[in-house]
Structures are given as C-alpha cells and as structure tokens.
Amino acid sequence: MKIVLKALQDQVVVLTGATSGIGLATARMAGIKGARLVLAARSGDALNKLVKEIIDGGGSAVSVIADVSKEEETESIAATAMEAYGCIDTWINNAGTGLYGRVEAVPVEDMRKLFEVNFWSVVYGSREAIKHLRASGGAIINLGSEVSERAVPLQGIYSASKHAIKGFTEALRMELEEEGVPISVTLVKPAQINTPFTINAKNFLSSEPVHVPKVYAAEVVASTILRAAVKPVRDIYAGGGGRVVAALGHFAPGLSDIFMEKMVIPGTPSGRPPRREPNKSGLDVPTESLSVEGNYPGRVARTSLYTQAMLHPGAASLVAAGVGIALFRLLRRPSAPRFT
C-alpha cells in the first residue's frame, strides 16, 4: 500500500487545540504555507481572533467552538470542514492539557477528566477522521509526548494519558495497514516545549510549575507536524532531548529514575505563586489566551538538528548512531553507578 499525501497548499487541515502553544504555532505556520484550515478549540474569542489573523494574512480558515472530550462535538468539527471545503486531507489531534501533583494528592475526578481531554479526544478525532479519509486517503497526526515513552514524576496521570495515546495510535496504524487503507498515522512526541502548558495546567503543587531543560520552541513541533502532513512518518520526537530521555529510560531505567527524582521533582516547582486558581485551569475552563510561549525563564532551543535529521532518512542513521554512542559513553563512565 502506497500512501500519497498532497502538498500542504492543496490540503484541508483540521486542527484541534488551535488557540494555544503548539496548536497556535501550527495554525499560523500552516496558514502561511497555504493550507485551508478548520480550527477547533473551546476558547471562542481567541479562536475568532486567530481566524481573522489568518484570513487577514491571505490564508483561509474557519472556526469551530468545540470541546473535543465530547464525541458529538468532535463530529461537528468534521461537519464544518465538509460544509466549508468539501473534504478533509489531514486531521491533527493536538488538544490536551496538563495536571501537576503527586499521585496521591490529585483527586481521581481530575484524573478521569484529564483522560477525557487528552486520550478520548484522540480516539474520537481519529475515528471521525477515518470516516472521511478511508476512501480518499490522508493523514492522521496524534500528539503524544516524550512522556509517552518515559513517565515523569509530578505528572503521573498526564504521562499515563500520553502512554495511552501511543498504544492507541500504534494499534490504529496496524489495523489500517492490514486493511490497505491509504491513511498515514503519525505519533509526534514533543520534548519539553515552552508553551502555556505549565501556566494552564491544573496544579496541586505549592507553586507554579516550570519545565526542566532542555526546552524547545513550539515551532519545532509545528514544523514536525506539518512535515508529517505531506510525507508519511511513523513516529517522531520533536526535540532531540526527548529522544535522549527516552533512550536513557530504556537502557538504564534505574539511572533514569534517579535522574528524575533528583532533577525533575525539585526542578518543577518554580517558587512563584500560581497564576491560575485550581478550579480555573485549562482542565476546567477555556483559557481564552492566544499565546504560543509559556513561562520558561531559560534558553529556548529554536531548532532541533536531531528532529530535522530524522525527518530526512539519509541522515537518520547517522544521528541514531550518535545518540547510541552518547548513551554508551554516559553509561560507561567509571563514576556512574549501575542500576538494575
């Protein structure tokens, strides 16, 4: 089965979670590249501003105010796309939110709600996309995370939701391949990205959370997503730091645990007071904030050589070898303890 994807300027692209962070960066980039956009989010005011911005810039876009944790509202996104443009070529399941706190401190009700937003929205979106792509072909792009491969402390339920997205995406890909359905299914796994994620997340820590480096710009992920929209990609880390963390977790899980315990747990609380009350987080209400960047105070990487290389097969083997050598040297240092 050969999957052929259209050039981006010839595509109708559905994008959920379009008004913040990665989604916003992707919408703007896709608009500049000429895609016709169907942009979905809960934040109506921010969504309308974004659509106007894209149209004023010479692009084409329509908006759908939708809560993608509800299946019927996901169906309305597809209906709007068909009414506005008559087809769908790429469906990007990007919507999601965060939840910070130790596992025993987070209410189970909030854990379940996060799964509705992060995981079930991907299920609903993928199933709806298949209805429209089965005959004509196209791409489904699901947003996982580096924590799809290696969970992190203080984000236990978020990590679990991204693990679930990985499992669902892999199963879906195999089933469509076996049927010979011409749909490319991609899992994009961003590393730590400087978006409002840490500001909007529901937070049970004593202070506002912040990412632990290495941190990348949202545009690194946006360019990765749009590459997968025009060329079939199985899965890809957006930001090489995520690949290193995942590899360390695979080859030296005990050492990885110690790293997380010593670096991530003390490094996540910023010491600054939270900007949002717990019941006004992105998990509970629309944020109405049209913002790409977050609260990370350090250097933000604007590119990822690793990701660019992996998207170009000729260089991918060299990069993979380099990651392997780096890990081998790290684990062979005489001073490094061994864990099993």
pLDDT (tens digit, 9 = 90+) per residue, 26-56?
A: 999 999 999 999 999 999 999 999 999 999 9
| Peptide bond connecting 33 to the previous residue in cis, omega within 30 degrees of 0 | no
Percent of residues, the chain, with pLDDT higher than 90:
88
Mark 156-176 as b/e (b = at least 16 C-beta within 10 Å).
Answer: bbbbbbbbbbbebbeebbeeb
CA distances to 137, 242, 245, 335, 336 from 331, rounded to whole Å, are 44, 18, 13, 9, 7
Mean pLDDT, range 267-279, rounded to an integer:
90
Is there a contact between 134 and 88 (Cβ–Cβ < 8 Å)? no
Question: Does residue 323 carry a pLDDT above 90?
Answer: no
Please give the backbone phi and psi of residue 4, each rounded to the nearest 5 degrees, phi first.
Answer: -115, 120
pLDDT (tens digit, 9 = 90+) per residue, 150-175?
A: 999 999 999 999 999 999 999 999 99
Alpha-carbon torsion (102, 103, 104, 107), positive or negative: positive
Distance CA 322, CA 332 (A): 15
Residue recorded with tokens 């899992």: 187
Query: What pLDDT, on the 0 to 100 scale, is given for residue 326?
Result: 55
Span 8-242+267-302: which CATH code?
3.40.50.720
At 289, the pLDDT band (50, 70, 90 cuts) reads confident
Mean pLDDT, range 71-77, rounded to an integer:
98
Query: What pLDDT, on the 0 to 100 scale, is given for residue 71?
Result: 97
Query: What pLDDT, on the 0 to 100 scale, is given for residue 336?
Result: 41
Q: Smallest Cα–Cα separation from 20: which of 46, 38, 44?
A: 46
Distance CA 8, CA 230 (A): 6
Distance CA 204, CA 109 (A): 14
Domain locations along the chain: 8-242+267-302
Query: What pLDDT, on the 0 to 100 scale, is given for residue 41?
Result: 97
pLDDT (tens digit, 9 = 90+) per residue, 187-239?
A: 999 999 999 999 999 999 999 999 999 999 999 999 999 999 999 999 999 99
pLDDT (tens digit, 9 = 90+) per residue, 94-146?
A: 999 999 999 999 999 999 999 999 999 999 999 999 999 999 999 999 999 99
Pair of tokens at residue 187:
């899992």
Catalytic member of 85, 100, 124, 158: 158
Residue 216 designated active-site:
no
Query: What's the mean per-residue pLDDT of the chain?
Result: 93
